[in-house]
A and B are shown apart, each in its own frame.
Chain A
Amino acid sequence: PAPAYFSQETLQHRLQILIEGAKESWAYAIFWQSSVDVCSGATLLGWGDGYYKGSEDDKRKRKANTAASAAEQEHRKRVLRELNSLISGGAGFSMDDAVEEEVTDSEWFFLVSMTQSFLNGTGIPGQVFFSGAPSWIAGGDRLAVAHCDRALQAQTFGIQTMVCVPVANGVVELGSTDTIFHSAEIMSKVKVVFSFNSFEN
């Protein structure tokens, strides 16, 4: 029988395969996992796992120190230090000089995504899960008018393309700092890579 959920180990592998092998330049892939509150019956899409690859835009902004204002950068770096401390238990796991480097907009957007969720079909990920129809939004101007807080936030942080594809138990979201027009190949790849019989055995 098919397992109820993808295992955590295979999730990371699936997300990595999706974007490392793609022709297009995707900055990140996220799996939004569905769950149902047994008391209220509400359906929630929450963070399942994510893979951040980065982009040429990240490198350019880091070199030019233009990722965000000085105050915003200090805030991001402080949060990064706190998160590092959280996962390392306050000791060990040195960040070296990495924390002092610019935290780019798309890195920040990915980090903030870990705190987000979509209740009962809200937001583009929620709509995609409920309708079963994928969403492909190319261009910052289109993200800005998509009537979705997450799409607007993505555009604010420099994402130019956001794609959501419904899969078993959730939604796969891909994001890029490039404007990427529809690709049947990547849509098909999401379906194959996120089928239960891939990798679980």
Chain B
Amino acid sequence: PRAVPQARKASLARFLEKRKERVSNT
């Protein structure tokens, strides 16, 4: 993940946001 280039940032941001939702619903 350290090497995630700029183009993947949108995917990463979405993943982290969704993860917050999943964790709070657990």
Residues on A facing B (Cβ under 8 Å): 8, 12, 47, 49-52, 54, 58-59, 62-63, 79-80, 82-84, 86-87, 95-98, 101, 107, 110-112, 114-115
Contact with A47, one of B2, B11, B14, B19 (Cβ below 8 angstroms): B11
Given contacts A47-B8, A83-B1, A86-B9, contact A58 B22 (CB under 8 A): yes
Residues of B within 8 A of A8 (CB): 10
| Distance of A112 Cα from B8 Cα, bound (Å) | 12
| Distance of A110 Cα from B8 Cα, bound (Å) | 12
Given contacts A52-B18, A95-B20, A114-B1, contact A59 B26 (CB under 8 A): yes
Considering the complex, give the chain B residue whose CB is closest to the CB of A88.
B13
**B16 CB to nearest A CB, Å:** 6
| Distance of A115 Cα from B12 Cα, bound (Å) | 11
Main secondary structure of the interface of A (DSSP, over half): helix
**B6 CB to nearest A CB, Å:** 10
Count chain B residues whose beta carbon lies closer than 8 angstroms to a beta carbon of A. 21
Considering the complex, give the chain B residue whose CB is closest to the CB of A8.
B10
| Distance of A48 Cα from B16 Cα, bound (Å) | 17
Considering the complex, give the chain B residue whose CB is closest to the CB of A30.
B11
Given contacts A8-B10, A12-B14, A47-B8, contact A111 B24 (CB under 8 A): no
Residues of B within 8 A of A97 (CB): 23
Q: A47-B8, A86-B4, A98-B24 are in contact. List 7 more A-B contacts (CB 8 A).
A: A58-B22, A62-B26, A79-B2, A83-B12, A83-B16, A96-B20, A114-B11
B11 in contact with A50 (CB, 8 Å): yes
